[in-house]
């Protein structure tokens, strides 16, 4: 273990084998028109085509299936989510035939709420956007019902599960290894997981975080200290999957070791342009965080001039249709 308590090496084969009954390997695609736009050779990891429509099932499956194997899973599972983590938990609840409760804030998109309910999970809405309320409700229900809390990224098992997408990406890219991978950053679990996995198989590959305006992740990474003032806050962004300002403590420590301190920041308008670009050129439906990664790629050639071969994590595609249609109006392919 390193000085922060994290394993230097992970048994990725064990994790991939564990989650394989529920998590599928998603495709990696490329597009010559987009390569020309970016001035780079780009490879898209399509987690939007995951069984659940997003990457979250990877970490949740590793946590829950490991607990099941160790006979620690008793009365069911519970977690707090603004959407995709809840869909992952509900999917696991249905697959394992166990009770599942998802605590969601009022901003949870209607299509995600419907998906969670359709999978048979119980949904409990918080009265407002106070993050502490979500944690309190989860803890209270878990205690009363004897449910296992499945963290939305703040556990090493969850982080390692998320890392399997970067392992797949590295193995699926033909030719020279990637120079860098763009990963959207919210609570940090996906970012940390992709960093751990990538550095194990391709140590020179840069892991570059993509953030919405107001997150200010770079300052904390440079200082190697969480500079966000508590309590945990939400950002003013339309990307509900990127609203959390601060990264969780466990992924933050990993990111300090393995993620570039130079972070790419994008606006909501740029994220929408990324959604438009994916629809027009890749024929893919994406939600805002994935659109953020496409938008940020326009900054790479200038900010990281040594990067020639770039991986981009398309983390999810669970977007309300009215939001998608609004995003597709008046598309201009030029940055």
Phi, psi torsion values for 119, nearest 5 degrees:
-80, -5
82 flagged as catalytic: yes
Task: Return the pLDDT at 332.
Answer: 56
3-state secondary structure of 326: helix
Task: Taking residues 254-262, report their average pLDDT.
Answer: 97
3-state secondary structure of 209: strand
Task: Return the pLDDT at 323.
Answer: 67
Mean pLDDT, the chain, whole residue set: 93
Phi, psi torsion values for 240, nearest 5 degrees:
-60, -25
Task: Taking residues 12-41, report their average pLDDT.
Answer: 97
Domain with CATH 3.40.50.1100 in the chain: 12-54+155-327, 56-149
User: Could you tell me how many residues make up the chain?
Assistant: 335
Residue 208, token pair as written in the block? 């570059």
Task: Return the pLDDT at 178.
Answer: 98
Task: Return the pLDDT at 3.
Answer: 43
Q: Which residues lie closer than 8 Å to 62 by C-beta, 6 or more apart?
A: 15, 18, 19, 157, 158, 160, 161, 164
Residue 163 has pLDDT above 60, yes or no: yes
Report the alpha-carbon distance of residue 260 to residue 268 in Å, rounded: 23
The string of DSSP codes covering 31-59 is -HHHHHHHTSEEEEEEGGGSTTSBTHHHH
Q: Which residues lie closer than 8 Å to 70 by C-beta, 6 or more apart?
A: none
pLDDT tens profile 268-307: 999 999 999 999 999 999 999 999 999 999 999 999 999 9
Instruction: Name the active-site residue from 45, 56, 206, 243.
Output: 56
Report the alpha-carbon distance of residue 152 to residue 237 in Å, rounded: 20
Q: Produce one character per residue of 56-83: b if its CB has 16 or more CB atoms within 10 Å, e if not.
A: bbbbbbbbbbbbbeeeebeebbbbbbbb
81 flagged as catalytic: no
The CATH code of the domain at 12-54+155-327 is 3.40.50.1100
Kindly report the CATH class assigned to 56-149.
alpha beta
Task: Taking residues 6-15, report their average pLDDT.
Answer: 80
Q: Which residues lie closer than 8 Å to 20 by C-beta, 6 or more apart?
A: none
Task: Return the pLDDT at 329.
Answer: 59
pLDDT tens profile 93-109: 999 999 999 999 888 88
Look at strands 41-46 and 28-29 and give their pairing: antiparallel
pLDDT tens profile 112-125: 999 999 999 999 99
Task: Taking residues 23-45, report their average pLDDT.
Answer: 98
Q: Label residue 62 by pLDDT band (50, 70, 90).
A: very high
Looking at residue 234, what DSSP letter applies? B
Task: Return the pLDDT at 70.
Answer: 95
Residue 248 has pLDDT above 70, yes or no: yes
Residue 320: CA count within 13 A, CB half-sphere: 16
How far is the CA of 215 from the CAs of 95, 129, 206, 312, in angstroms? 36, 17, 20, 20
Residue 184: strand pairing partners = 210
Instruction: Name the active-site residue from 80, 81, 82, 220.
Output: 82
Burial group, residue 163, by CB count within 10 angstroms (0-12, 13-18, 19+):
buried
């Amino acid at each position: 273990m390193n000085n922060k308590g994290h394993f230097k090496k992970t048994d990725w084969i064990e994790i991939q084998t564990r989650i394989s009954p529920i998590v599928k390997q998603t495709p990696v695609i490329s597009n010559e028109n987009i390569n020309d736009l970016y001035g780079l050779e780009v490879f898209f990891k399509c987690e939007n085509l995951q069984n659940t429509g997003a990457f979250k099932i990877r970490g949740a499956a590793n946590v829950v299936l490991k607990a099941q194997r160790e006979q620690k899973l008793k009365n069911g599972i519970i977690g707090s989510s603004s959407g995709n983590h809840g869909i992952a938990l509900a999917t696991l609840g249905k697959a394992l035939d166990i009770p599942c409760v998802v605590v969601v804030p009022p901003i949870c998109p209607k299509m995600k709420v419907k998906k969670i309910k359709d999978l048979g999970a119980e949904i409990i809405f918080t009265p407002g956007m106070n993050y502490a309320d979500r944690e309190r409700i989860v803890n209270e229900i878990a205690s009363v019902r004897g449910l296992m809390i499945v963290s939305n990224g703040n556990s090493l098992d969850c982080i390692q599960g998320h890392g399997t997408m970067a392992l797949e990406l590295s193995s699926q890219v033909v030719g020279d290894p990637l120079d860098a991978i763009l990963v959207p950053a919210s609570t940090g679990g996906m970012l940390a997981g992709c960093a751990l996995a990538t550095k194990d198989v391709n140590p020179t590959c840069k892991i570059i975080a993509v953030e919405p305006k107001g997150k200010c992740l770079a300052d904390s990474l440079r200082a190697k200290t969480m500079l966000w003032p508590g309590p945990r806050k939400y950002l003013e962004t339309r990307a509900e999957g990127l609203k959390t300002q601060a990264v969780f403590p466990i992924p933050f420590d990993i990111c300090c070791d393995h993620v570039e301190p130079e972070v790419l920041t994008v606006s909501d308008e740029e994220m929408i342009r990324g959604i438009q670009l994916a629809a027009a050129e890749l024929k893919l439906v994406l939600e805002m965080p994935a659109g953020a990664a496409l938008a940020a790629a326009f900054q790479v050639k200038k900010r990281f001039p040594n990067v020639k071969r770039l991986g981009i994590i398309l983390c999810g595609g669970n977007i309300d249709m009215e939001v998608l249609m609004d995003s597709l109006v008046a598309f201009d392919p030029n940055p």
